[in-house]
Each structure stands twice: as C-alpha cells, then as structure tokens.
C-alpha cells in the first residue's frame, strides 16, 4: 500500500514549521500531494522528490504568507497552510478551501481555534486573513470531532511555548502520525489518539526524517474491491487495527477475513449477506469508505443500509451506481440499498475521490464494460491505481486524462 494521503498532506505542511530540511518517506504520488507542493513552492518552500516515494522539504526560505487562490481552492487540506504560517510567520492569508463536494465542510472550528490562540481574524474576498504577533497557548474544545481542526491547531500551537490543550480532539491515525512527526521535530505532543491532545511548542523546531503510515483508506478500498469481485486478495503493508471497523463489517457480510503478520487477506467462499453500517469518527467505520462499501452492497441481494453521520453530501455516488442498475434510495442521512444479482457496466462519473473509487469497484464487479469519466478525481487520492488493479488481474485501461 502507498503511504497515507491524509497523513502526508499534514506532515508535509508540518515540515515547513521548521527553518530546516526534512525528508519524508512513503509519500503517495497523487494529485492532492502535488497540488500542496505547488502551494508551498509559491511561499518559498523547496519540495523535491529525491526517491520514488521520498520527498525532501526545505523550508529555510519560507517568506510568503499568502497562499494562491486557484491551487488552494482545489483541496481542503490546503487550509493546514494557515496553521503553519501563523506559527511560523505570525501571519497567514489563505483562501477558504474547496475540495470534494461532499458537504458544506466549513472551517469555522479551525478559525475559532486560531482565535483562541490569539489570532486576529478577518475573512474577506474568499480569504481567511489571520495575524498574531505572538500566538498564546489556550485550551480549546473542538466543537465536533474534526480531524482537520485537530491537525491544524496542533500545527498552529507547535511553536508556542507552554501547553495548548485540545479537547474533543479527533483520534484518527493520521492525527497520531502528525503528532509523532511534530514530536520528532521537537514539540512535545501528548495524548494523540485520545480525545485530549496537549501541545507544548518550541521555536527551536528542527527538520527530521520520517516515514508516513500506510493508507488505511486505500487499503480498505482494495479489500472491498476484493470482496465485491468475490476474489481472494492479500493486502500487504497495512496496519490492520486501522481498518478494524471495516473488517468487522466485511465479516458480518460473510467475507472471510484473515489478519496476519503479512497483511490482511479477504476471500469470498459463499453467498454474501446484506449489512447495516453507520459511519463514525475513528475508530468507527470511515466515511471515506462509505461509497466503496455501498458499491459492494449494491450487488448483495437483500436490503442493506448505510447511515452517513459525517458529511451530508456524501451521496453523489448514488445516481451513478443507479446507472449501473443499482437499486439505492436515499432517505435523509441513510442510503437504503436493495441489492441486485449483478450490476451492469455503464458510462459513469467519478464525482469525488471516494465516489470514483466506488465506480471502480462497481465496474470491476459488473457485467460488461464501465467507462468512468472525471478520473482526475481518482488521481487526487489514489497512487498508481490502474497498475495495482492490473496486478490483481483486473482489466483497467486509461483512455484519456
Ligand atoms: C478529513 C479527511 C477526509 C475525511 C474526514 C473525516 C483530509 C484531507 N481529509 O477531512 O478525507 O473524510 O477527515 O474522517 O484529511 N466541520 C465543521 N467545521 C469545521 C471543520 C469540520 O463543521 O471547521 C465538520 C465537517 O463539515 C464534518 C465534520 O466536522 O461534518 C468532520 O470534518 P473533519 O474531520 O474536519 O474532516 P476533514 O478534516 O475536512
């Protein structure tokens, strides 16, 4: 598996907190990473690939405090640049982010946290503008479990002496990964992975060499693809505890799951059964695996339901799966799936990253050919997707783009 996209995005920005160079290993080649690197370069940060998955980030000449509009709008993680710039330069002008169209996805929790740390904030012309001569430590209650807010405030607090406390912090592995990286740089971060994270910052952050954790969402996507195609696949290089909720649901659906030192193997011997799933913050069932799981359940006869509790507009995949013969109805926050015997290949669109992954899974399981347009969305989050699927025996071809 590739390194985690969502860790990499946070850690690359974290590297720019030090007036130094860092080497980050196991960084996935996906478009969101490339876009972030372009944003950082406009601020004076050097970023070069020095190996197949190794990135060197040189932040000794960071001087810019204004992130470019068009690039930043493309992805929500660009907003991490705000936390980093406030910590490093005391000044940040960063566009309010865009990203996947899966909900309103505001950044109000981030902004309120920056204010708690002593930032004067204005939002004008689509930009967040923050200024703080000296950030001060604070205790901040994250209003609702939010990975982005937790990470952004860890970044912002990482150069501030004394202890900042984040309550109701997100517990995702990517938060822990970022916290480990910051600790190696010299900040004292405690409690990451629990709901209270403390950060004792220092101006003397230094560059480090670090390896990003494996991508649990990418791994989960392949595990679901294996089940949906009634295959037998071993996914190596993943941390199986990171996908426990998924493995439990796959087991409930009748998939044979074997976790061992070499990875997680899934295979399907008999008939699959319908299941009900609620997405939830980690360690719950990841919202980023919801569309893929729906694609699998669409061809499991019987009635399944997926309740989405994180992003209200996660259901963009539903109309596309219907084109392939799926019987799915959205009732409030829940997709009600009446599984059919077999989906049929059709032209569909990757409306966002994970919806795109759902189309790939549905297409692999369906009878006939499926053409997926807007594959740029898949490229945002998946590293060498066609190559990996081809290696598993799928017939996948990039026609254009
Ligand atoms: C990150 C991941 C995304 C994943 C999500 C949930 C990255 C780049 N993206 O997104 O893939 O699906 O975690 O695991 O790492 N919210 C607010 N105000 C805020 C911030 C969040 O209302 O200021 C809401 C969101 O709309 C959402 C919920 O809080 O309903 C959780 O969002 P959050 O965990 O922050 O998601 P992201 O960090 O954007």
Same domain? For 302 and 271 the reply is yes
Ligand 1: which atom is nearest the Cα of residue 9? 8
Note the residue count of the chain. 401
Domain end among 188, 211, 234:
211
Residue 399 placed within a domain = no
Same domain? For 238 and 192 the reply is no
Domain end among 211, 246, 278:
211
Side by side, the strands of the sheet bearing 263-267 are 232-235, 263-267, 256-260
Q: Tokens 């001087």 — which residue?
A: 63
Domain end among 211, 243, 265:
211
Tally of structural domains, the chain: 2
What whole-number distance in Å separates Cα of residue 189 and Cα of residue 197?
7
Q: Is the CB of 103 under 6 A from ligand 1?
A: yes
How many angstroms does the Cα of residue 107 sit away from the middle of ligand 1?
9
Residues 6+ apart with CB under 8 A from 13: 36, 40, 77, 80, 81, 83, 84, 155
- Would you tell me the crossing angle of helices 5-15 and 147-157 to the nearest 10 degrees? 20
Is the pLDDT assigned to residue 98 strictly greater than 70? no
pLDDT number for residue 350: 97
The tokens for 287 are 């919202």
Same domain? For 295 and 245 the reply is yes
Q: Is the CB of 310 under 6 A from ligand 1?
A: yes
Q: For the residues 212-239, what does the mean pLDDT come to?
A: 97
Is the pLDDT assigned to residue 401 strictly greater than 80? no
Residue 177 placed within a domain = yes
Ligand 1: which atom is nearest the Cα of residue 109? 23
Higher-pLDDT residue of 312, 78: 78
Residue 195 placed within a domain = yes
Same domain? For 184 and 263 the reply is no
Q: What is the DSSP letter of 153?
A: H
Which candidate, 291, 264, 311, places its Cα nearest to that of 361?
291
Q: What is the CATH number of the domain that holds 372?
A: 3.65.10.10
Residue 398 placed within a domain = no
Residue 286 placed within a domain = yes
Q: What is the DSSP letter of 285?
A: B
Mean pLDDT, the chain, whole residue set:
96
Residue 12 placed within a domain = yes
Same domain? For 207 and 234 the reply is no
Q: Tell which one of 146, 153, 380 to mutate to probe ligand 1, the residue whose CB is within 8 A of the most ligand atoms.
A: 146
Helix (H) or strand (E) holding 189: strand 188-190
Same domain? For 201 and 245 the reply is no
Residue 401 placed within a domain = no
Note if the pTM is more than 0.75. Answer: yes
| Percent of the chain surpassing pLDDT 90 | 93
What whole-number distance in Å separates Cα of residue 291 and Cα of residue 295?
6
Q: Tokens 């993680």 — which residue?
A: 77
Residue 179 placed within a domain = yes
Helix (H, G, I), strand (E, B) or coil at 94: strand
C-alpha dihedral (151, 155, 157, 163), degrees to nearest 10: 60
Is the pLDDT assigned to residue 95 strictly greater than 90? yes
Helix (H, G, I), strand (E, B) or coil at 317: helix
Q: Tell which one of 30, 78, 148, 178 to mutate to probe ligand 1, the residue whose CB is within 8 A of the most ligand atoms.
A: 148
Helix (H, G, I), strand (E, B) or coil at 72: helix
Same domain? For 43 and 187 the reply is yes
Same domain? For 176 and 258 the reply is no
For 341-397, how does the pLDDT look when each residue is reduced to its tens digit (9 = 90+)?
Answer: 999 999 999 999 999 999 999 999 999 999 999 999 999 999 999 999 999 999 999
Q: Which residues are catalytic?
A: 100
pLDDT number for residue 101: 59
Beta strands in 333-391 (DSSP E): 334-339, 347-349, 371-373
Q: Tokens 């990875």 — which residue?
A: 263
pLDDT number for residue 102: 52
Which candidate, 91, 79, 72, 105, places its Cα nearest to that of 134?
91
Q: 305 is in which domain, residue-wise? A: 216-391
Same domain? For 177 and 238 the reply is no
Same domain? For 199 and 270 the reply is no
Helix (H, G, I), strand (E, B) or coil at 374: coil
């Amino acid at each position: 598996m590739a390194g985690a996209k969502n860790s990499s995005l946070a850690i690359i920005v974290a590297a720019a907190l030090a007036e130094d160079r860092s080497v980050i290993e196991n960084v996935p080649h996906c478009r969101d990473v490339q876009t972030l690197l372009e944003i950082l370069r406009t601020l004076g940060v050097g970023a070069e690939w020095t190996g197949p998955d190794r990135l060197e980030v040189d932040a000794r000449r960071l001087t810019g405090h204004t992130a470019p509009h068009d690039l930043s709008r493309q992805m929500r993680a660009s907003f991490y640049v705000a936390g980093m710039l406030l910590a490093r330069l005391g000044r940040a002008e960063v566009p309010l982010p865009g990203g996947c169209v899966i909900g309103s996805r505001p950044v109000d929790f981030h902004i309120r946290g920056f204010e708690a740390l002593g930032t004067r904030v204005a939002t004008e012309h689509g930009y967040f503008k923050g200024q703080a001569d000296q950030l001060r430590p604070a205790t901040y209650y994250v209003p609702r479990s939010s990975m982005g807010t937790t990470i952004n405030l860890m970044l912002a607090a990482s150069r501030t002496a004394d202890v900042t406390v984040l309550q109701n912090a997100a517990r995702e592995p990517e938060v822990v990964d970022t916290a480990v990286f910051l600790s190696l740089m010299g900040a004292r971060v405690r409690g990451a992975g629990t709901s209270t994270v403390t950060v004792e910052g220092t101006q003397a952050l230094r560059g480090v060499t670090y390896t990003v954790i494996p991508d649990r969402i990418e791994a989960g996507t392949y595990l679901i693809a294996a089940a949906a195609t009634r295959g037998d696949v071993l996914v190596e290089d993943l941390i199986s505890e990171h996908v426990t909720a998924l493995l439990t649901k796959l087991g409930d659906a009748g998939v044979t799951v074997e976790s061992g030192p070499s990875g997680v193997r899934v295979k399907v011997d008999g008939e699959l059964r319908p299941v009900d799933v609620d997405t939830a913050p980690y360690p719950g069932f990841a919202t980023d695996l919801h569309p893929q799981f729906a694609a699998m359940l669409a061809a499991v006869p019987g009635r399944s339901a997926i309740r989405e509790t994180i992003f209200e507009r996660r259901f963009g995949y539903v109309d596309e799966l219907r084109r392939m013969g799926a019987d799915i109805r959205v009732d409030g926050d829940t997709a009600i799936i009446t599984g059919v015997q077999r989906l049929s290949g059709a032209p569909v669109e990757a409306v966002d990253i994970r919806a795109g992954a759902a189309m790939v899974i549905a297409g692999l399981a369906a009878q006939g050919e499926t053409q997926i347009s807007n594959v740029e969305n898949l490229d945002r989050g998946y590293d060498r997707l066609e190559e990996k699927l081809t290696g598993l025996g799928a017939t996948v071809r990039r026609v254009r783009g």
